[in-house]
Structure 1
Amino acid sequence: MIKNYLKIAWRNLIKNKAHSFINIAGLSVGLACSLLILLWVQNELSMDQYHVNGKRLYSVYETQYVDNKVEGQYSTPGLLPEELKKQIPEIEASTGITYGEENTFQVGDKILKMNGTDAGADCFKMFSIPLLQGDVQTALNSPVSMAISRKMARAFFGSPEAAIGKTIRYDNRKNFTVTGVYEDLPSTASQKYDYLLNWYNYIEENQWAKSWGNNGPATVIMLRADANPDAVEKKIRHFLDHYNTGQKKGTFTEELGLQRFGDGYLHGNFENGKPQGGRIEYVRLFTIVAIFILLIACINFMNLTTARSVKRAREIGVRKVVGAVRSVLIKQFIGESLLVTSLAVIVALVLLTLSLPVFNQITHKEIELPFYQPLFWLKLVGITLITGLISGSYPALFLSSFNPVKVLKGTLKLDSGATMFRKGLVIFQFALSVILITATIIVSRQMAYIQSKNLGYDRENLIYIPMSGELLNKYTTFKDEASRLPGIQSVTRISNTPTNIQNWTGDVKWEGKDPNVVVQFTQVSVGYDFVKTMKLKMLEGRDFSKAFPTDSVGYLINEAALKRIKYNDPIGKPLTFWEKKGAIVGVMKDFHFTSMHEQIKPLVIRLRENEKYGNVLVKTQPGKTREALAGLETLCKEINPAFPFTYNFSDQEYEKLYQNEQIVTRLSNAFAFLAVFISCLGLLGLAMFTAEQRIKEIGIRKVLGASVSSLLTLLSLEFLVLVVIALMIALPVSWYSMSKWLQGFAYRTSMQWWMFGMAGGIIVIVAMLTVSFQAIKAALVNPIKSLRSE
């Protein structure tokens, strides 16, 4: 019997090639999209979940109550990891982790740039980082020890075995001994590093990290197996009160909290000082999109199969007459649905294999199809069964319900309930499509707004060069020589990157300041010509100048800082920063120095022409960037021969701040197009069904003199009503959901009526073109063919 069902199903597919192609194409595209999204979702959910001690690993975050605001961050004092381990018995191990940086390493004549971080001696006890060479207990336990990855060991020494015990020169100023070689981190690690320097080195090189009042690195702890995380969190909540004794209670308070380490990647945003939201929002969003696209594809199958019902009505009538019961017919049609779904899954896997490299490039992932995992095939079989049952259930129930007497007499009429159900499915399809199109338009507008908004400085033709080696000691020489190179406008320096200045302090004082109130200021150090190079606008005063020796204790502030300080005539007024008394020399117009997710904060800029870290900022002349880079590379090789020449463009680094949004934009564009494409296949199915049902009516109207245009209007108007209903449902939902999304930006574009009008217009035009094709085809049929049975 099953063999017979499959044979009949196959014959129907072959007999109706065009119908079968549309059916399988729509379903396979929907399945491919859904599987692609679900693979990405699975990858996101698996990030940082590979650690054996994952349930005991916790990140420590800090909630700050300051200046009538509540803020949260992962940055903690550099001394916190060791002190927590000493004072809290439930903490078995702890480590500080820096946020990673690129440094230069040298072995013999080989010089390479590597990305890495700093970590404590407990690192290998806590995290599942397999050591290929060395001992877990001693890999990072001395000031001159470091651990490197298999990749770095091969690059410098040829193999992990050859690397152990060898010496590596770090930034041409310090030697480290390789005491451990670990396996390259998996693709599911959120932070990848080629080397680990010990924590002693970090504390010694960053003297500010020895102060409890300064925050920077992250702190991760591992609790004992029998420890209660909630009890530990209560115990450490006011831990910093015993160390930050200089701050007055009530004006500035800090609390510590715990978050599972594996949750930080997806829940990395802070609201009211607590970790809430983050990438998890996009995971949820695209999970819903995957389900919606699969539903749209299933709805297509229902409509397209139902559209062929009249063709198979006599077959069903004959089967019922010779004894087929309804349950047998349902099984037959479900079986046909599963066959079509299985074919669609095969096509979907081919499409998935072809599109995965492009998808990985867009999402910056390393996702692979897990063909070797039995669980993957079990899930695929499950998706096939569910999709087949969902898409085939309604056609099976509908077709098996035909009355054989009416069918064989040729008087088959479909009840209004069946018609309304199919129309409801089309409305649902197009409502989802409108939501996706509207979201795509608004997300694209927000990204365009971010790209085009005046940041308060000119990020075009702005290059920054990381300072290392002799550049630190010979910066003045480099600046003088670089300024004379062709294609270069000006040169300065900055302690951070200009697109992401995050360092802050509460140690700023001025005349009239309430001593009981702590105000947070972002701070950065720069060199001469900073305002000129960045092309900042000065509201009052001037830039730092060599003509004024007192500028060594002078300060530049922005508008936001002036609003907090409240000086009426700020130039020359006293300002004390980190206990260094000085004066304000200039007030700048506010400019964006972090992403537009955040409001512009009060900023204090101090002069440090000879700071021992940071970046050189170079402004090139328009159209001469390539020439300027060639000159800078030659100059760097002369002054700093032990280090490779590296640089970054400010506008590219700015775009990295919105990497998640850019990924969402590209994916939204693709999935919105595919959703509309699949929905139009569903509309085509309903148009085919309607044309077949009204074929005799169309013939009679043509005999009575109806024109093709009038028939086209008659057939199209019904579908236009469905699209309009879909718009009425979708537009309010789109407005609400996108307004919530835009609230995540402190600076955002406004939602305007034309955005929703454009989405509606696109859907109406595409839908009408789809319907018109089938309507014209039906209207052009010779009435003799449609009426010859009468």
Structure 2
Amino acid sequence: MLFNYFKIAFRNLRQNRIFSLVNIAGLTIGMAATLLIFLWVYHERSWNKHNEHYQDVYHVYANRDFNGQITSGPDMMFPLPAAAAASFPEVEEAVIVDFGGTPLFTVGDKMIRRQTLTTSPEFFNVFSAQFIEGSAKVLQDPDALVVTESTAIAFFGHTRVIGETVKVNNGRSATIKAVVKDLPENSTVRFEVLQPFNQSTPEYREAQTDWVNCGNRVFFLVKPGANIASLEKKTLELIRKNASSENVTTRGSIILHPMSKWRLYEEFRDGRNTGGRIAYVKLFTWVAIIILLIACVNFMNLSTARSEKRAKEVGIRKTLGSGRKQLLLQFISESVLLAIIAFILASLVVWLVLPAFGQLLNQEINIPFNEPSIWIIILSIILLTGIIAGSYPAIYLSSFRPVKVLKGTFLPGKKALLPRKILVTAQFVISILLISATLIIYQQLQHVRNRELGYDVNNLVLVSSSGQAHRNLEAIRNDLRTTGMVESVTHTSSAVSDIFGFTSGIRWPGAPENNNLVIGFMFAGHDLAKTIGARMASGQDFRINDTNHVIFNQEAIKVMGIQDPVGREIEWAGRRRIISGVIENMVVNSPYTSASPAMIVYEPNWSNQINIRLNQGVDIRKALVQIEQVFSRHNPENPFEYRFMDEVFQEKFTNEKLIGQLALIFSALAIFVCCLGLFGLLAFSIERRSKEISIRKVLGASLQQLLLPMSAEFLVLIGLAFLIAIPAAWWAMKEWLNNFEYRVNISAGVFVLVGLIILLIAFITISLNASRAALSNPVKSLRSE
């Protein structure tokens, strides 16, 4: 019987090719969009699940009072993990890991940088890895390296590399003692090379008792069933017992952040874990469901639009003894068959666009065929789509009375249009919401990108420094100037757009006794302001040999309350220093927040970045060639690696840019599917009014007189959708913008533009469909009268 239903359904679809193609197209787009979003959501939720102890690993965060605001951070003191493992029975293992870097590894004539972590020997007791050669015990050896499979191949061309020696940063030699498989892309703690802390160095011995400085990450492997809240309190008490109040104040606390939340719940506010990427995952999950529902609504509209053509079929079937149950199964079988065909096509579309989709996300998105849950989801999508899409048409069509139908008196009334009008209005509400969100996200990005930064990112080149480059910095500086391409050169401890160091140890005359001031700091050389294009509010830029001099930004001077700061003395890091100038506030770290207090310290011996300001109007390519030649002469032991400062700054918008692009893509798909829904509603309305249109034409009505009444009816629906969608869009985007301290104001112009876009698309759809009916031969509709 079921086979017979599908057989009849296939014949019916084949006989109505246009209807079938439009319906399949709508379902295919809806399913493809849904599958793409679900694959991304699945990928986001799969992070770190390859770890054996996924449910029991915690990242230790500290809440600190920074200038009256509680800030959460993972930087912890070096002795904490050993002390916690020894003091707390619920802590099975504790490991300390640095924040990583990309040191230079030299193998023969190869010079390769690799993402490297330095850790304590307990690393593999906490984090999982598959060993190809060697074992976790090698981390007891201070000269050992653990490398990934791809790194071993990059170094030597094969993976049998145990015992091979490599040089690190053109200095010490280290021996590869173990090889592990490449870590999954969806790992938070990633490495290509792993090395242990060198326990024999004076720095290591000093760090073991240093409860003040915080520059590493700490992870606990906790026994199942442990009381996490109690462990947080005990960890705080342990730190307070050993550390000064500068690290965790009386307002501070400890948060044990579980591995299951590292990816999606990465944001903290006021000392609490408030969410993060999970908001976007939930948002686009709903977008996927909504797009699929829109496609189902289109199916309903298109199916019921053919009601008059199917009415006689229903009437004949009923007179021949078919019950309503059989008719329901017949029509649902047709919709399930359509859903199966649409899913096959959607799968093909997903397979074709998945590489581009992954490139857009900057992630490797794969289809997990080996996961049973995926097949359950696939089957559910097909069945639910078929049943949901086919249920209303099946109920509607099977309800026809055979007597009226076969007499030719059947005609769907105005009430038959009401459910479809509601559904199409809902479709346009969703489309307006998505388009409005896309435009406001774009406005926010442009607003921040055009913000006054306090420095000039254009024509500023960052070159990775090294010990050799730093020793020859003056020669490099002189040779760069002689090229005629370079205006000025300086060195800094990091890119000027990022400050990684923070201190609360600044003292100055008149400072309050309970000083909780925390200031970000970075090291720099002379000509700093000139090179980065910053402006001095007072005082002067760093000059050569400005030893023990500092520059504060305006916000720092404001918070410190120092009057006439230039020439005043402060004390920091055990030395007295002179304030040589005050620089205008610069946008560092987050471009969405206001300026925070910052101090720049003159330090000739600390250089991670060499900043090169190019002359205006120079040929960038020629300039880079000459810069590379200079570095090749004075820094031959290291590869020439550079970045443009404007590109570094643009990286800060990656997340919001991605969300905007996704919103644009899926709002465009939603609009297209909505137009198919409008097409279905128009087809239904025109079928119901076909004789009326024909009579009007016979009586002399013009094309314009025929189009206006039909168009006005649907433009009213779009207007209603606006009345519902605009307040909802304004509220939703206002809530989103509240996450940013520096944000754009939502203007009415956004919604006017959205209105024009929607009206234009809808009017084109209505005009094409209505004009086709208005231009049809009236004889065909009236000859049966």
Tell me, in whole angstroms, the C-alpha distance in 2 between the residues paired with 1:81 and 1:317: 79
Q: Retained in 1: the 8 A contact 2:70–2:252?
A: no
1:190-269 → structure 2 map (5 Å cutoff): 190-200=188-198, 211-225=210-224, 227-245=226-244, 247=246, 253-269=251-267
1:48-93 deviation per Cα after TM superposition (whole angstroms, max 9, x unaligned): 1211111111100011124321111112123322232233232121
Alignment equivalent of 1:614, drawn from 608, 613, 617: 608
Q: Retained in 2: the 8 A contact 1:507–1:579?
A: no
What is aligned with 1:486? 484
1:694 aligns with 2:693: no
Deviation for aligned residue 1:406:
1.3
AA aligned to 2:102 is: E
1:561 aligns with 2:556: yes
Deviation for aligned residue 1:223:
1.5
For residue 657 of structure 1, give the secondary structure of its aligned residue in structure 2: helix
For residue 132 of structure 1, give the secondary structure of its aligned residue in structure 2: strand
1:234-268 deviation per Cα after TM superposition (whole angstroms, max 9, x unaligned): 32133321122364996x65322201123111111
What is aligned with 1:782? 777
Q: Retained in 2: the 8 A contact 1:492–1:526?
A: yes
Q: Relative to structure 1, is the Cα distance of residues 248 and 762 closer, same or farther in structure 2, using a 3 angstrom cutoff?
A: closer
AA aligned to 1:238 is: E
What is aligned with 1:109? 109
Q: Relative to structure 1, is the Cα distance of residues 727 and 208 closer, same or farther in structure 2, using a 3 angstrom cutoff?
A: farther
1:730-769 → structure 2 map (5 Å cutoff): 730-769=725-764
Tell me, in whole angstroms, the C-alpha distance in 1 between the residues paired with 2:221 and 2:195: 20
AA aligned to 2:147 is: I
1:403-424 deviation per Cα after TM superposition (whole angstroms, max 9, x unaligned): 1111112222335443211111
Query: Which range moves more in the overlay, 32-41 or 410-419?
Result: 410-419
AA aligned to 1:325 is: G
Tell me, in whole angstroms, the C-alpha distance in 2 between the residues paired with 1:207 and 1:712: 86
Percent identical = 36
Q: Retained in 1: the 8 A contact 2:106–2:170?
A: yes
Tell me, in whole angstroms, the C-alpha distance in 1 between the residues paired with 2:30 and 2:723: 25
Q: Relative to structure 1, is the Cα distance of residues 261 and 377 closer, same or farther in structure 2, using a 3 angstrom cutoff?
A: closer
Tell me, in whole angstroms, the C-alpha distance in 1 between the residues paired with 2:24 and 2:548: 73
Deviation for aligned residue 1:446:
1.2
Tell me, in whole angstroms, the C-alpha distance in 1 between the residues paired with 2:17 and 2:207: 72
1:551-596 deviation per Cα after TM superposition (whole angstroms, max 9, x unaligned): 3112111111111122232211222222322221111111101122
For residue 221 of structure 1, give the secondary structure of its aligned residue in structure 2: strand
Tell me, in whole angstroms, the C-alpha distance in 2 between the residues paired with 1:586 and 1:206: 37
Query: Which range moves more in the overlay, 179-188 or 382-391?
Result: 179-188
What is aligned with 1:442? 440
What is aligned with 1:20? 20
Q: Retained in 2: the 8 A contact 1:596–1:745?
A: no
1:683 aligns with 2:691: no
Tell me, in whole angstroms, the C-alpha distance in 2 between the residues paired with 1:217 and 1:681: 56
Tell me, in whole angstroms, the C-alpha distance in 2 between the residues paired with 1:511 and 1:487: 45
What is aligned with 1:726? 721
Q: Relative to structure 1, is the Cα distance of residues 184 and 249 closer, same or farther in structure 2, using a 3 angstrom cutoff?
A: closer
Tell me, in whole angstroms, the C-alpha distance in 1 between the residues paired with 2:199 and 2:193: 13
Q: Relative to structure 1, is the Cα distance of residues 493 and 455 closer, same or farther in structure 2, using a 3 angstrom cutoff?
A: same
Tell me, in whole angstroms, the C-alpha distance in 2 between the residues paired with 1:63 and 1:27: 49
Tell me, in whole angstroms, the C-alpha distance in 2 between the residues paired with 1:757 and 1:403: 47
1:628-661 deviation per Cα after TM superposition (whole angstroms, max 9, x unaligned): 2112222222222221111111111112122111
For residue 172 of structure 1, give the secondary structure of its aligned residue in structure 2: coil
For residue 786 of structure 1, give the secondary structure of its aligned residue in structure 2: helix
1:697-708 → structure 2 map (5 Å cutoff): 697-708=692-703
1:295-317 deviation per Cα after TM superposition (whole angstroms, max 9, x unaligned): 11111111111111111111011
For residue 639 of structure 2, give the secondary structure of its aligned residue in structure 1: coil
What is aligned with 1:589? 584
Deviation for aligned residue 1:7:
2.5
Query: Which range moves more in the overlay, 393-402 or 70-79?
Result: 70-79
What is aligned with 1:96? 96
1:186-206 deviation per Cα after TM superposition (whole angstroms, max 9, x unaligned): 122134321012133799669
What is aligned with 2:154? 155
1:104-503 → structure 2 map (5 Å cutoff): 104-136=104-136, 138-161=137-160, 163-200=161-198, 211-225=210-224, 227-245=226-244, 247=246, 253-503=251-501
Q: How many residues align?
A: 783
Structure 1: runs of 5+ lacking an equivalent? none
Q: Relative to structure 1, is the Cα distance of residues 275 and 706 closer, same or farther in structure 2, using a 3 angstrom cutoff?
A: same
Tell me, in whole angstroms, the C-alpha distance in 2 between the residues paired with 1:248 and 1:383: 52
Tell me, in whole angstroms, the C-alpha distance in 2 between the residues paired with 1:676 and 1:134: 56
Q: Retained in 2: the 8 A contact 1:540–1:571?
A: yes
Q: Relative to structure 1, is the Cα distance of residues 249 and 313 closer, same or farther in structure 2, using a 3 angstrom cutoff?
A: closer
Q: Retained in 2: the 8 A contact 1:143–1:201?
A: yes
Deviation for aligned residue 1:230:
3.0
Q: Relative to structure 1, is the Cα distance of residues 185 and 698 closer, same or farther in structure 2, using a 3 angstrom cutoff?
A: same
Tell me, in whole angstroms, the C-alpha distance in 1 between the residues paired with 2:13 and 2:245: 80
Q: Relative to structure 1, is the Cα distance of residues 249 and 725 closer, same or farther in structure 2, using a 3 angstrom cutoff?
A: closer
Q: Retained in 1: the 8 A contact 2:64–2:248?
A: no
1:95-129 deviation per Cα after TM superposition (whole angstroms, max 9, x unaligned): 12223221110122222121222222111111111
Tell me, in whole angstroms, the C-alpha distance in 2 between the residues paired with 1:140 and 1:482: 43
Q: Retained in 1: the 8 A contact 2:339–2:385?
A: yes
Q: Retained in 1: the 8 A contact 2:265–2:273?
A: yes
For residue 77 of structure 2, give the secondary structure of its aligned residue in structure 1: coil
Q: Retained in 2: the 8 A contact 1:541–1:586?
A: yes
Structure 2: runs of 5+ lacking an equivalent? none
For residue 55 of structure 2, give the secondary structure of its aligned residue in structure 1: helix
AA aligned to 2:212 is: G
Q: Retained in 2: the 8 A contact 1:144–1:201?
A: no
AA aligned to 2:561 is: K
Deviation for aligned residue 1:226:
5.5
1:628 aligns with 2:653: no
What is aligned with 1:541? 539
AA aligned to 1:19 is: F
AA aligned to 1:54 is: Y
Q: Retained in 1: the 8 A contact 2:240–2:248?
A: no
Tell me, in whole angstroms, the C-alpha distance in 1 between the residues paired with 2:558 and 2:120: 42
TM-score, with structure 2 as normaliser: 0.96
Q: Relative to structure 1, is the Cα distance of residues 7 and 224 closer, same or farther in structure 2, using a 3 angstrom cutoff?
A: closer
1:81 aligns with 2:81: yes
Q: Relative to structure 1, is the Cα distance of residues 202 and 393 closer, same or farther in structure 2, using a 3 angstrom cutoff?
A: farther
Tell me, in whole angstroms, the C-alpha distance in 2 between the residues paired with 1:201 and 1:421: 74
Q: Relative to structure 1, is the Cα distance of residues 623 and 710 closer, same or farther in structure 2, using a 3 angstrom cutoff?
A: farther
Query: Which range moves more in the overlay, 732-741 or 483-492?
Result: 483-492
Q: Relative to structure 1, is the Cα distance of residues 411 and 206 closer, same or farther in structure 2, using a 3 angstrom cutoff?
A: farther
Q: Relative to structure 1, is the Cα distance of residues 213 and 597 closer, same or farther in structure 2, using a 3 angstrom cutoff?
A: farther
For residue 139 of structure 1, give the secondary structure of its aligned residue in structure 2: helix
For residue 459 of structure 1, give the secondary structure of its aligned residue in structure 2: coil
